[in-house]
Every structure is written in C-alpha cells, then in structure tokens.
Amino acid sequence: MYDFNFHRPKSLRKAAAILAENEEAKLIAGGQTLLPTMKQRLAAPSDVVDLSAISGLSGIELKGRKLQIGAMTKHYDVATSQVVREALPALADLAGMIGDPAVRNRGTIGGSVANNDPAADYPAACLALNATIVTNKRRMTADEFFTGLFDTALEEGEIITKVIFPLPKRAAYAKFRNPASRYAMAGVFVSKRGREVRVAVTGAGSDGVFRLTQAEEMLSKRFSEKALKDLTVDPDGLVGDIHGSAEYRANLVAVMTRRAVAAA
Amino acid sequence: MPKVSMTVNGELVSKMVEGRTLLVDFLRDTLKLTGTHIGCDTSQCGACVVHMDGSAVKSCTTLALACQGAEIMTIEGLADGETLHPMQTAFNDHHGLQCGYCTPGMIMTAVDMVKRLGVPDEETIRAELEGNICRCTGYHNIVKAIAAGAEAMNKSNG
C-alpha cells in the first residue's frame, strides 16, 4: 500500500472541506473493502479521511414506518439490533450474512452502499426496498443512486449520512455465497409493500445490482413461489467467471428468487 | 509522521506511525508483540484477529491511526500472569492446534464469540469460525476446544 495523509475530522463540514481541497482523497468508514483495494494498489489515494470520529453518523432508529440507519453503523449492529430484528428482519439477516464476524465488526452500511461492489449485499436491500440514501447535500432514492459497476450518483465531496428504509409488508433475502470469498454469487432481495413488488439481484449482474422486472411482474399478480414457475432468467448481461458461467448464475438467480419469496 | 495513542493490553502507548501502517504491523513491528500473526493479509484467514474496544477485528485490515484512543487486546494480554486464560487452556487440553500459526487468531475469535454468545453449540461455533482458517487440523479439535473453553469461561464468570 502506498502511503497517504491521514485525516480524522470531527465534523462532516470539515470532512467535506478536506475532500474539496484534495482531489485524490478518499473517505474511509470501516475500511473492509478500501484497505484490501489499496493493498492491491487498485486505489492509491493521496489522502484518507476517516469518518469514525464524526458524531451522529451511527445508530438505528425506527421513525413511524421507516427504519433509519446511520452510515457508520456496523453490520454487526444491524444484524443484532432488536429494532431491526422486529421491524425489518430480512435486513438483519442480510447484515448477518456479510463477510465474517470480524469483518461485520468493522464494515459499515454507508461504506457498502457508497462502494456499490457488484457482489455486495446492501445494494440489493436498498434497491428492493427503494431506500432513500441521505447525504450531506441531498436525498436520493436507490433507483437514482446505483448507476452501475462500483458507480453511484454520489458527487465529489458528497458523504452518505444515513439510509432510510420504508418498512415492507413482506421481505426476504436469499444468498448463494461463494464459499471462499463469502461474496454473493447470486443474492436476491424481494419485497412487497402495498401493491408494489420489487426484486433486486446482486452478485450476478455484470453492471452491478439490478431489478429483475420480469419476476416483479409475475409476483405483482400473486406474491407466491407458484407465480414464478415459468421464471427463467436471461444469462445475457450476467457475470461469467471462474466461479460460474453466466448461464449458471442465471439459474442461481431464479432459484434464489424462489427461495426469497418462499421465505418472505 | 502522525502520532497515534492507544491502550494495548492495558498499557497506554504513543508512537509515530505512517498513515498506511496497519494495526498488525504496529503491534508486531513497533511494539514487538509478535503473537498476532499475518497469514493472508487479505482479511480472509483471521490469523491477525485482535480485540478493538471489546470486539474481534482483523488487524491486517485496520489502520493503526484509526485506533486512536482505542483499547486493543492481543493474545499476549489474555493470560493472567503465568495463569493461562481458560480458552488458552482449552486449546492446550484438546490439542486444538498443530503448527500453531492460526492459533492466536482462533483464540481471540473464540473469546469474542463466547463473550457474545455464552456457550454456543457446535453448529454455531463452526459458523462463527468462517473468518478463521486453519490449514492443519480440519477444525475438529479447534471446535472441541472452543466448546470446552466456553464452558470454562462461563464457569469462571460465576
């Protein structure tokens, strides 16, 4: 890893100012993705801005029918929170499936969402629940936020402060994990809120997280596994690599969608 | 170079470090606490697990400067003088190691697991060990050691 200037600002304003002054600066939350990336020299920021000393960025709060999670809230805290367990158990389950216990003790929801790794879990939950991503500048829906592989609508100097999940009537996440990396080979989050059904897929799309509109239409008529009996997923646009071909992933996506609906 | 201060095994330390210094390098190279190991250096294997403010973390994937003001506990801080920690004794009694390279991380993970979960069953122990890799033992004796260590820790806590 190349050396860098380390900053640990105490306020969002200060953090944003450091980002504005240093074009090659990067934010660090739990660092569970950024540090391995820097070790491989795939990233070499001039400045690293640690968000951990800024107060008010972590915590879980239920506000009416919305669950608010601070950007610096760790996966372990989401996985074990009584509030999340009761209000949105699918999200607690998802958080408990990320990485391993030590990774969950450092990794954060804001970091995961901002990085938009094509195999990360949280983007699927955000997209399937149409979460609102709140930054120091504005609010965006998940549909607006995730724009492609490792790409988001975040602008220079923009910092995620929290993610707000509207509570669904039914939801579940089914993940087929790569046994070595523990990343999703295919992860499918399904949700039903009012009449709206949303299905989001991670781990399989070559352009990152995406909505499986075909399954959404089938499930809008009837939210049950049976409604998916004719579901076949097109391998076009899916990842094919040493871990599995695009066709294999297409099948996994269909299977995980059925499992998620059965569990919701 | 910036300065970092943290408590390591109960002692306050303050040292100059580079921005890129990882916690594991700080522990091993600067403080000469070489009980914490570097296995994969990619946060897969868990040989580097230490406790940061009471939670197990991978010290190869934590910056030393991010530990400003934190309480760090390494394998060296576990025993009470000459008396081994119950989890260390359990690994010894159940032959929970062969080459020993993964053992510090296994034990720190095990202690964290027991603090959170009390006396976990075998399935839970195996699931909780997903971030700790041992290439010698096939895990059977590690799992037995953790189960026994959990019983002993819970007894000694009254």
Q: pLDDT tens, A35-58? A: 999 999 999 999 999 999 999 999
Nearest CA in chain B to A29: B66
Q: So what's the architecture of B3-77 in CATH?
A: Roll (3.10)
pLDDT in tens, A44-100: 999 999 999 999 999 999 999 999 999 999 999 999 999 999 999 999 999 999 999
How many beta carbons lie within 10 A of that of residue A257, not counting itself? 27
Dihedral sign of CA atoms A63, A68, A74, A78 in order? positive
Contact A31, A106 (CB under 8 A): yes
Give me the amino acid identity at A262. Answer: A
Nearest CA in chain A to B56: A102
pLDDT in tens, A170-212: 999 999 998 877 889 999 999 999 999 999 999 999 999 999 9
Collect all residues with Cβ–Cβ distance below 8 Å to B36 and sequence separation of at least 6.
B24, B27, B28, B47, B48, B49, B50, B59, B74, B75, B104, B105
Phi, psi (rounded to 5 degrees) for A187: -130, 130
Torsion from C-alpha of B72, B75, B77, B82, nearest 10 degrees? 180
Please state the ipTM of this predicted complex. 0.95
Domain map (residue ranges) of chain B: 3-77, 86-156
Q: Which of A76, A70, A77, A81 is closest to A103 using CA atoms?
A: A76
Q: Are the Cβ atoms of B63 and A28 closer than 8 angstroms?
A: yes
Query: Of B44, B62, B131, which is closest to A101 when you measure between CB atoms?
Result: B131
| CA distance linking residue A114 with residue A22, whole number of Å | 19
The separation between CA A259 and the C-alpha centre of its own chain, rounded to angstroms, equals: 20
Indicate which of A18, A33, A80, A103 best probes the interface with B, i.e. most B CBs within 10 Å of its own CB: A103
Residues of B in Cβ contact (< 8 Å) with A51: none
| CA distance linking residue A27 with residue A113, whole number of Å | 13
Distance from CA of A80 to the nearest CA of B (A): 11
By the CB < 8 Å criterion, does A31 face chain B? yes
Distance from CA of A211 to the nearest CA of B (A): 30
Fold of B86-156: DNA polymerase; domain 1 (1.10.150)
| CA distance linking residue A113 with residue A133, whole number of Å | 9
Residues of A in Cβ contact (< 8 Å) with B54: none
| CA distance linking residue A157 with residue A20, whole number of Å | 6
- Quote the tokens at residue B13: 């330390």
DSSP string across A173-218: EEEEE-TTT--EEEEEEEEEETTEEEEEEESSBTTSSEE-HHHHHH
Q: Are the Cβ atoms of A36 and B131 closer than 8 angstroms?
A: no
pLDDT in tens, A5-16: 999 999 999 999
Give me the amino acid identity at B15. Answer: K
Confidence of residue B156 (pLDDT cuts 50, 70, 90): confident
Distance from CA of B132 to the nearest CA of A (A): 9
Torsion from C-alpha of A57, A59, A60, A66, nearest 10 degrees? -20
